[in-house]
Amino acid sequence: MSSSLCLIGHPLGHSLSPFLHRRLMARSGVNGDYTLREIDPAAFSEDVPCLLNTVNGCNVTIPYKQAIVPFLDRLEGKAALYQTVNTVAVTADGTVGYNTDVDGFLQALRHADIPLQGRVRLLGTGGAATVFACEAALAGCEVTIHKPRNLQAAQTLCARVRTVAPHAVCRIATEDDGDAVDLLLNATPVGMHPHTDACPADERLLARCAAVFDAIYNPRTTRLLECAAASGAKTAGGMAMLAWQAAAAQTIWHGVTFKESDMDALIEDAYRELEVQFA
């Protein structure tokens, strides 16, 4: 039987998800298809239950990662902890929400040989930032939200981190404090295509970062990564995170697993596909 999968979000525009999932299914011999299903926010509560009746699973992206929660029968693991879902499995026992962004993030750091430890500095306070901050806190890091443009969102995120990891240090730096940074995490869209000249951190901060991870995957080398590498930091972009979160979703849906070497090849192919889509 063919597996019917999709990505829901609004707007969807260009997405690499169909490419990644079709490649992962072909690699593991799974018979299935993966499509884009843009859902208008005004129609979300009506459309989602219908959609979940017609698919085997779906991924969820902006702005529905929290909005989907009340429509699911249960949440597993980090999805339950963060109340944020990016993967849904439709099973005989009901609809189950997961968060494979977490798997993607941790695997992307491992892939780049960047340890999640020490003083972590975070740019952004949204969905990706929540995952990054909570995972860093759970790993025992000291988390600093750097110059948030929305102070209230930063305070809410710090409170969230302390709920998830009660003994963790999570603070907000409203001005640059000059502290050394073991790992800088960009969870803002600053520098993303087509605004590729923009950079979310200045040279002063980058000069004292040992490693920088940028969640952005388009372009492959953002201005942030270019400047960080020039000042001697270890760097990694977001494509590995995207590819590994897709692989983790395939594991949930079909029980298949993937070799590191196959994933490395897929990440390179995905960067080439990006060039085709944005040519």
Site for ligand NAP in 51-80 (CB under 6 A): 62
Residues paired with 173 in a beta bridge: 146
Contact 272, 46 (CB under 8 A): no
- What are the φ and ψ backbone dihedral angles of 196, each rounded to 5 degrees? -75, -10
Q: Which is nearer to ligand NAP, 6 or 242 (CB)?
A: 242
Token pair, residue 278, equals: 């944005």
Choose the binding region for ligand NAP from 2-10, 126-134, 227-235, 254-262 (rule: CB under 6 A).
126-134
Q: Contact with ligand NAP (CB under 6 A): which of 150, 163, 174, 231?
A: 150
Q: Where do runs of H (alpha helix) occur along the chain?
A: 17-28, 44-52, 77-82, 101-111, 127-138, 151-164, 203-206, 223-230, 239-254, 260-277
Give, to the nearest 10 degrees, the angle between helix 17-28 and helix 260-277: 140
Smallest gap from residue 93 Cβ to ligand NAP (A) = 28
- Nearest-angstrom CA–CA distance, 44 and 64: 9
Q: Which is nearer to ligand NAP, 244 or 253 (CB)?
A: 244
- Nearest-angstrom CA–CA distance, 109 and 236: 8
# chain residues binding ligand NAP, by CB under 6 A: 24
Site for ligand NAP in 229-248 (CB under 6 A): 238, 241-242, 245
Question: Does 161 help bind ligand NAP (rule: CB under 6 A)?
Answer: no
DSSP state of 238: T
Q: Which is nearer to ligand NAP, 128 or 168 (CB)?
A: 128
Measured between alpha carbons, how far apart are the two ends of the chain, in Å? Answer: 36
Q: Which is nearer to ligand NAP, 141 or 215 (CB)?
A: 215
Choose the binding region for ligand NAP from 124-132, 158-166, 251-259, 260-268 (rule: CB under 6 A).
124-132
Annotated active-site residue 65? The verdict is yes
Question: Does 216 help bind ligand NAP (rule: CB under 6 A)?
Answer: yes
Question: Does 101 help bind ligand NAP (rule: CB under 6 A)?
Answer: yes
Q: Mind telling me the catalytic residues?
A: 65
Interface residue list for ligand NAP (CB under 6 A): 62, 101, 104, 124-129, 149-150, 153, 187-190, 192, 215-217, 238, 241-242, 245
